[in-house]
Amino acid sequence: MTSSNTLLKKIIGVKDVVVTDAEIYSDHDGVTHLTIDARPNSWNRNKCPFCGRKKLPGYDRPSQSLRVWRGLDFGGVMVDIRSQTNRILCPEHGVVTADVPWAYPNSGFTKDFDMTVSWLAKYLPRDTVSEYMRIDWKTVGKCISRSLHDLEPDLSRRLDGLVHIGIDDTSYCKGYKYITVIVNHDTNTVVWAADGHGKAVLSKFYEQLTDEQKASIKVVTGDGARWITDCVNEFTPDCVRCVDPFHVVEWAMDTLDELRSERWHKANAKVRELSKNKPKTKGRPKSDDKAAAAVKAAKAEASEIKNSRFALDKAPENLTENQQVKLAMIQANDSQLYRGYCLKEALRMIFRNTDADKAEAELDHWLWWASHSRIPLFHDLYKKIKRHKEHILNTIKFGLSNARIEATNNKIKLIIRKAYGFRNIQNMLDMVYLVCSNIRIPLPNRKSRNR
C-alpha cells in the first residue's frame, strides 16, 4: 500500500521535498482544506531562486511565521503547502528569499497551479477560469506572466534568424489605444509586441536588434503606413518592403465608395431639381405626364446608386443575380461610376499575377488609366499607388501578404474579448506571447519537461 507520505509528495507534484506533517480542516465557509507541511530537502536548501546556486549562507534568522502556497485542488479539497522561509545572501543577486521547488519566486501558488491557470486561460474566458480555480480574475494575469517567463525566460531569442516578418498595429481598447505586433511569417508566431504605434514604437524593435539580426531580415510586409516604410529604410535599407494586397484593394474600394456617395448626392440633387420644376397637379400623374416620368426615373436611378455598395465592392464572380442587375443598370446610366468600378477590379486582378514583369506592365497601364480617368478621387488614388508601386511589385514577386498578421490580430482581439479587456498592458502582452506562439503549456502528470 502506498504510504501517506508518498501520496502527499505526489499531490505537491515535485521532487526534492520533505513532507513533515499534514492536516485536514474546514474553514468558516465550510470549504475543506488539506494543508501539507513541507520543506526542501537538504541538497536544495538555501538555493537562489534566480541563478540556482545551492547551500548559500543565510542572511538572517528564519522567519517564525509560516508561509502558505495554494496548490491544485485534490478531489475538490483545497490544497495548501505550508513551509518556513528564510533569506539568503547570493553573491550575484544579493539578499533574496530562498527558493522552494514547488513555486516560482514571489508567487503564492505552486508551479502546477500557475501552469493550469495559464492553460485554461488560453481556451476559456477569464471569469470562467477565475471561478473554477477559485482565484481573483486579476490573479489570472499574474499566473500567465509567471508561466510565460518560466517556459520562455528569454523572449529576445525569438528575434534570432528572422527572414520574413509582418508588421501591423491593432486596437485593444476604446480611445485609439493600439499595440504594435510583429509576426514571423516562417513560424507564424508573434516575435515582438509593444504598447502604442508609430515610428517611435517600431524604432524600439529595431534598436534592440543586433547587426546580425538586422542583416538576416530580407522581407517586411505591412500596410501602406509611412512609419513602417521609414523604419525599414532607416534600419534595414537592404530589406525588401512589401505592401499588403488587401490594403491596396481596400484603398480602391474606399475610393469607389466615396465616388458612389458623390454620385448619389448628384442624383438626389437631380431628383430635387426635377421635382421643383414639375408642375403641381392634383391626384395621380397621368400616363403621358413626361415630367412625372422623369422624376420617377431619376428617383429609381438615385435609389440604385445608393443601394449598390455591395454590388460595386464584390468581385464579379461573387455577385448575386440582383446585384448583377444593379451593376448592369449602373453601367447603362452612370459611366463615371462604372469606370471607377472597372478601375477597382483592374487593380484587384493585378495581384492575381505570378509574373512580376507582366504585373508591372499591367500596373503601369492601370496608373495611366487612373491618371486619365477624369475622376478626381481616382487621380488621388493614382498618386498613392504610384508611391507604393515598388512595394506592390515586391508583394507579387515574393508572394507575401499580411494575411498571417491579420489572422494574428483577430486572435489577439479574441484574447481581449475572452478576458473582458485588460487593465494591465503587460499581462495582455504576456498572454499574446503565450497564445500566439508554439509554446506548449505543460499540465500536471503529463509527459512534459522535467522540473
Cell 491544485 locates to 72
Lay out the sheet containing 219-222: strands in order across. Answer: 189-195, 177-184, 164-173, 219-222, 240-243
| Predicted confidence (pLDDT) at residue 277 exceeds the cutoff of 70 | no
Residues 93, 41 share a domain: yes
Query: What pTM did the predictor assign?
Result: 0.83
Q: pLDDT class for 62, splitting at 50, 70, 90?
A: confident
| φ/ψ (deg, to 5) at 124 | -120, 155
Give the separation between CA 333 and CA 346, rounded to whole angstroms.
Answer: 21
Identify whether 140 is part of a domain: no
Residues 160, 29 share a domain: no
Identify whether 332 is part of a domain: yes
pLDDT score of 450: 42
Read off the CATH number of the domain in which 186 is found: 3.30.420.10
Percentage of residues in the chain having pLDDT higher than 70: 94
pLDDT score of 451: 42
pLDDT in tens, 309-346: 898 998 889 989 999 988 998 888 888 999 999 999 99
| Predicted confidence (pLDDT) at residue 202 exceeds the cutoff of 50 | yes
The DSSP-derived string for 364-388 is: HHHHHHHHTSS-HHHHHHHHHHHHT
pLDDT in tens, 26-45: 988 889 999 999 988 888 88
Identify whether 120 is part of a domain: no
Give the separation between CA 386 and CA 389, rounded to whole angstroms.
Answer: 5
| Predicted confidence (pLDDT) at residue 449 exceeds the cutoff of 60 | no
Residues 83, 2 share a domain: yes
Q: Which residues contact 254 (CB under 8 A, 6 or more apart)?
A: none
- Domain tally for the chain? 3
Identify whether 234 is part of a domain: yes
Least confident of 161-170, 240-249, 416-425: 416-425
Cell 464584390 locates to 314
Q: pLDDT class for 288, splitting at 50, 70, 90?
A: low
pLDDT in tens, 170-199: 988 877 789 999 999 999 999 999 999 999
Angle (CA) 200 203 206, round 5°:
170
Residues 249, 191 share a domain: no
What does the pLDDT average to over 79-108?
90
Cell of 256: 469607389
